Amino acid sequence: MDGYVITVLSNIGMISFIALSAYLLLVTGEISFGQQAYFGLGAYAAGAATAMFGLPIWAGILIGVGAAALVAMVVGALTLRLGGLYFSISTLAFAEMVRLILLTAEVQVEVDGEMVGPDGANGFHDIRWMFERDISLAEFMLIIYCLLALVLIVLALVERSRLGSVFRMLGSDDLLAEMQGINTVRYRILAAGMAGGIAGIGGSLYAHFTTYVEPQFFNVMLGVHALAYGLIGGLGTAFGPLIGVAIDIGFLEAVRFIQGYRMIVFGGLVAVLLIFMPRGILDEDRVHRLKGWFSRRRHAGTRGN
Amino acid sequence: MIDFVQNTVDGIMFGSSYALLAIGFTIVFGVMRRLNLAFGATIMLGAYAGTWLHVHYQVNVLVIALTTLACTVLAGIYVERLCFRAVRRDAALASMVSSFVIWMQLEEVAVHLLPERTYPFPSLFVAGSFEIGPFLFRAEQITMLLLAVVMVGALHLLLHRTRYGLALRAMSENPQAAGYMGIHTEWVMLCAFALVSLVGGVAGYAILATDEQITPYFGLWATFKGLIAMMLGGMGSLPGAIVGGLVLGMVEAHSQWYLGNEYKDLSAYVLLFAMLVLRPGGFMGQRILSREELAFRRV
């Protein structure tokens, strides 16, 4: 594989984390315009851990995830009781606050005679973990996809558990869920924390892959794209958002002749898609039918033997 | 003290343009309960069409103003057809994401129309400034404030004194029941979008004529400022849109003066976030129904 393909695939992998993060909230019925804030916080926290304090990358990622999840839960506790559009706008306000604070933040320490750390609008340069350890892009891509697989497994386990049912219940009718004796606010905060943590993983990886991050990357466009990916791919399964990301980044990168008209084509396609499939390609009904089809086939196979 | 008053005056002047944008937003939300993210982009496309005429054919400003309004309304109708009419009624989320991708689409169409960074925008108003005591006022911004007040008044009359307004308000209460009462809901929706686009087009034209230039960031800027001003004032409240716009303008002007340029946007978002956490209904909006009341309503 050449560098270009690896970069595109790695980008798909890293953006998938924020798409999954927005997806998890969509499943619980909340629309967040602000998941890019946790992606950014994860990137800055993990970058600071490895570049400024010389910690190993697994500690950096843990710190990134922890910071993002913690902030997401605090913000969730403040805003989730609002519900609906009020929550969406407050996530937008919070994410822009984070971005604008990072634009002014200058916290630098001296490492090996050089100043390292967030430098306001210039961004956070020299997150050189990959170069110092002599790790190739392909190897890093492997790390990205291993973590992505891990997140998908966790989400699949959640989906099968009671927690998953509660999340889906909150999404379809939270009033009914509350009448069943479910503490909806607590579960929503939990979902917000998990979503923040997932976005934080993506951010931690992104900081180390590109070796530098700037606040401008975590603008609202990233957050709304993340939201759109879930809705394009489908809200029925965690693979939905991945399909959305692959369609946007993979397909449109590959088709060169629509360059420059990319958003005109993509926008039109998605708008038409949403008319016929308002909850995405793999929505709940289709996932349910696919599962039924697979399990019938399996049973037919065992009987045949 | 003089600085403080001058900042407040400047803030009110800027705020009047935010108020104009918030009026467009508040009608979309108040009546349709759906988020039209493409609102800023439709205004931008209309304004780009007007600017295109201005750049390529030196025509009368009135023609440019009318072109801007007409193209904004056409773009608004396009958004309504594609993202709202065609999408199933229970899929509000799909409408929102759909309007977002159409935002990106319209923006790219606009950039293909005029690929440069900035273009001059013709001024319609008599520019100029005058002084009252030690304070400086700009004529075109006072015009803008008056325009906002007149538009709110006209819209208030439209909503509360005409049959169309009655139909629109009935639809905002319950679209299904409104349909049973013989209201042609599709037509009312389409007209509402055209109306909102017209308001947005006027707002966009007034703002751009004051700035005398247009950039590709106008769509994003208009969407954000309108959204924040509307949320501050209270969703769906017309007077709230003006109050929210003016408050936003004043907060930005003061924080720019006392804290510096980089804190101008930050303080606006801090204010919005604090407002949503502490008093989500905004200055003039309705109280949010508590869960018990919602449950009671359903029963």
Which residue in B95, B109, B273 is closest to A264 by CB distance? B109
Contacts of A274 in chain B (CB under 8 A): 83, 87, 91, 94-95, 97-98
pLDDT at A305: 47
Instruction: Compute the CA torsion angle A258, A259, A264, A268 (nearest 10 deg).
Output: 50
Percent pLDDT > 70 in chain A is: 95
Task: Give start and end residues of each alpha helix (H) in A28-161.
Answer: 35-47, 57-79, 84-104, 129-132, 137-160
Contacts of B98 in chain A (CB under 8 A): 270-271, 274-275
Q: Are residues A35 and A22 in contact, defined by beta-carbon separation less than 8 angstroms?
A: yes
Contacts of B95 (CB under 8 A, 6+ apart): A274, B34, B35, B83, B84, B87
- Given a cut of 60, is residue B279 above it in pLDDT? yes
Contacts of A34 in chain B (CB under 8 A): none
Contacts of A135 (CB under 8 A, 6+ apart): A129
pLDDT at B296: 61
- Given a cut of 70, is residue B113 above it in pLDDT? yes
Interchain pair A278, B37: CB under 8 A: no
Mean of per-residue pLDDT scores for chain A: 85
pLDDT at A218: 86
Contacts of B298 in chain A (CB under 8 A): 175
The residues with which B130 forms a beta bridge, in sequence order, are B137
Confidence label for A73 from pLDDT (cuts 50, 70 and 90): very high
The whole-angstrom separation of Cα A143 and Cα B8 is 54
Tens digits of residue pLDDT in B173-192: 777 888 898 888 888 888 98
Task: Give start and end residues of each alpha helix (H) in A105-183.
Answer: 129-132, 137-160, 162-172, 174-179
Which residue in A97, A270, A278 is closest to B101 by CB distance? A270
- Number of C-beta neighbours around residue B257 at 10 A: 16
Average pLDDT over residues A30-57: 89
Angle between the N-to-C axes of helices B185-211 and B61-79, in degrees from 0 to 180, rounded to the nearest 10:
140
- Given a cut of 60, is residue B289 above it in pLDDT? no
Which residue in B97, B235, B298 is closest to A231 by CB distance? B97
The whole-angstrom separation of Cα B118 and Cα A85 is 34
Confidence label for A41 from pLDDT (cuts 50, 70 and 90): very high
- Given a cut of 70, is residue B285 above it in pLDDT? no
pLDDT at A66: 94
pLDDT at B6: 83
Residue span of the structural domain in which A149 resides? 3-304
- Given a cut of 60, is residue A303 above it in pLDDT? no
pLDDT at B293: 60
Asked if B269 has any chain A CB less than 8 Å from its own CB, the reply is: yes
Interchain pair A79, B276: CB under 8 A: yes
Q: Which residue has the tokens 């208009």?
A: B222
Q: Are residues A133 and A121 in contact, defined by beta-carbon separation less than 8 angstroms?
A: no
Contacts of B217 (CB under 8 A, 6+ apart): none
Contacts of B270 in chain A (CB under 8 A): 97
Average pLDDT over residues B254-263: 84
Interchain pair A271, B83: CB under 8 A: yes
Contacts of B30 in chain A (CB under 8 A): none
Tens digits of residue pLDDT in B2-13: 788 888 888 888
Interchain pair B288, A86: CB under 8 A: yes
| Amino acid identity for residue A287 in this structure | V
Which residue in B83, B90, B266 is closest to A97 by CB distance? B266
User: Would you list the domain boundaries of chain B?
Assistant: 2-298
**A185 → chain B, closest CA residue:** B291
Average pLDDT over residues A138-164: 91
User: In the structure encoding, which two tokens stand for residue A110, read together?
Assistant: 């001296």
As for how many domains chain A has, the answer is 1
Tens digits of residue pLDDT in B150-178: 888 898 899 889 999 898 888 877 778 88
Tens digits of residue pLDDT in B32-85: 777 788 899 999 999 999 999 988 888 888 888 899 999 999 999 999 888 888
Which residue in B37, B108, B288 is closest to A264 by CB distance? B108
**B87 → chain A, closest CA residue:** A275
Q: Out of A16-20, B137-141, B216-220, which region has the weakest mean confidence (pLDDT)?
A: B137-141
- Given a cut of 60, is residue B287 above it in pLDDT? no
- Given a cut of 80, is residue B125 above it in pLDDT? no
Contacts of B82 in chain A (CB under 8 A): 271, 275
User: In the structure encoding, which two tokens stand for residue B137, read together?
Assistant: 């006022």
pLDDT at B212: 83
The whole-angstrom separation of Cα B69 and Cα B88 is 29
Q: Out of B69-73, B126-130, B295-299, which region has the weakest mean confidence (pLDDT)?
A: B295-299
- Given a cut of 70, is residue B291 above it in pLDDT? no
Contacts of A264 in chain B (CB under 8 A): 105, 108-109
Backbone φ and ψ of A111, nearest 5°: -125, 120
Interchain pair B291, A224: CB under 8 A: no
Classify the complex by whether its ipTM is higher than 0.90, answering yes or no.
no
Mean of per-residue pLDDT scores for chain B: 83
Of residues A124 and A74, more confidently modeled: A74
Asked if B88 has any chain A CB less than 8 Å from its own CB, the reply is: yes
- Under CATH, which number does the domain B2-298 receive? 1.10.3470
The whole-angstrom separation of Cα B47 and Cα B208 is 8
Tens digits of residue pLDDT in A209-255: 988 888 888 888 888 888 888 888 888 888 889 988 888 887 777 66
pLDDT at B98: 87
